[in-house]
Structure 1
Amino acid sequence: MERYVLKTKSDGSEITVADVQNVLLGMLKDIDGICQRNNIPYFLNGGSALGAVRHKGFIPWDDDADIAMMREDYVRFIQVLKKELPEQYTFQCFDTDRRYNVLIPGMKIRKKGTYLKEVNTLLPNRCTDSDGLFVDVFVYDYCTQNKFIDLPFRLLNQILMPVLIGFDMLHINPVFLKRWFMSNAHLYGKLNKGSDYIGFDLTWTFKTPFHPFIFRKEDIYPVQYVDFEDTKLPIANHPHEYLCTAIAPSYNTLPPVEKRAPKHIVDIEL
């Protein structure tokens, strides 16, 4: 198996993607236990879902882990984490820390005693309690395919995105704009509550608003548990339909060898 080295230390020892995945797997197991005990449905998102389907675990060169859940479940999840999150973890989100960058996934659950520096320098972590290795928690919400309703909401947050990035680069925390950005996303979800369609909530602006990630709810829920490394974790109810939209219809085709490389981590300590 190919070894993907992330860091070579001064003593010659190495930290590999497999080392990171081993820690992430432990985190995912702990998160899954919390969600199962509290009846909070969630599912592996994006590349983590692709890994579950194509590799029955992590993509061998993938150096992160993503999960997702509906906003109504995410609200409960926050309250549960306040009481049940094990001591070795912390979680960061705008709901509990106004320094949190609202342009990144809704929450990061971090492992204390580790350190991670991301490739993305435009959206640095402003929460000072931890820069540890993390699992991203994406928030999904109800959507509409009616462009006359959908586009105005998406375009507003698309316009706010560079403004928020600009303030962040100046080390200014524009809480009012963040609240506007978040409330626009929440209102959109409320207006479409009960829809047959769901997708990334409108705080995720790194995709064209004219072709957003939108899925049939029945293609994701109820989730199903499948083999993932040495355990079982949940993925979408209809993984083919989900992955055709979330990744590409060619999701089962491996990328060229030269593109099989970790892409998120600049520096790491475990």
Structure 2
Amino acid sequence: MTVTTARWLRRPLPRPAARVSLVCFPHAGGAAAFYTPWARLLPPGVELVAVQYPGRQDRLGEPPAETMDELAGAVAAVLRADRPDRDLVLFGHSMGAAVAWETALRLEASGPGPRHVFVSGRPGPGRQRSEDVHLRDDDGLAAELRHLGGTHADLLDEPEIRAVLLPSVRADYRLIETYRPDTGARLRCPLGAFTGDRDGKATEADLAAWRTATSGAFTGRVLPGGHFYLVPQARQVVTAVLAACDVAPPVAHPVLP
């Protein structure tokens, strides 16, 4: 693995012999570690590869990406160099859904594309809403995070942690809120979309709008929960992803007393 690849990709449970990489893209302000619990839900032939955006955690000293083209272009280049012999399956949540779709478009434009793309918790490109969360003060930004439920409220109450966390959150919100997708762009591979039944940021109608983002097969699924439904529903999401890719999930062993 090159130094550049190592900066961008995290493998919480390395599987060098795997034939499929499930590449996961975090939400705004999120980090690769968000997907760590998924690693043990995958069969031996699938390796979890989580993208670490610049400007957070162990990449805190790097400036965050300013545009979608910068971010998706960099990830696409890294994935081309990472494991060229593997099938790629992309999954992105919230902002990560847009990054995954844009990355997949770039991969298809320059060579073999992903086997499947999954988007979660974000409206399709034709239903993007105009928002200005990145322009709010720190209290307003923290209030948005509390409302969505993706960040522990106690962390946002600590001034030192807020000072570290909020700059990357604000940068991500600026990127996604100034992003203007090409509504005529289409993937060729299958596209699956997920949302929570109480997610006001991505309704069922928003979910259906992803149908026009691919010329391949489309599936949509609504699961119980709000914007971060995929935390308590992790096993259901992973099982659905594997099934759509025709990969059997690992056998669940009973817990012995």
Give the alignment's TM-score, normalised by structure 2: 0.30
Greater Rg, structure 1 or structure 2? 1
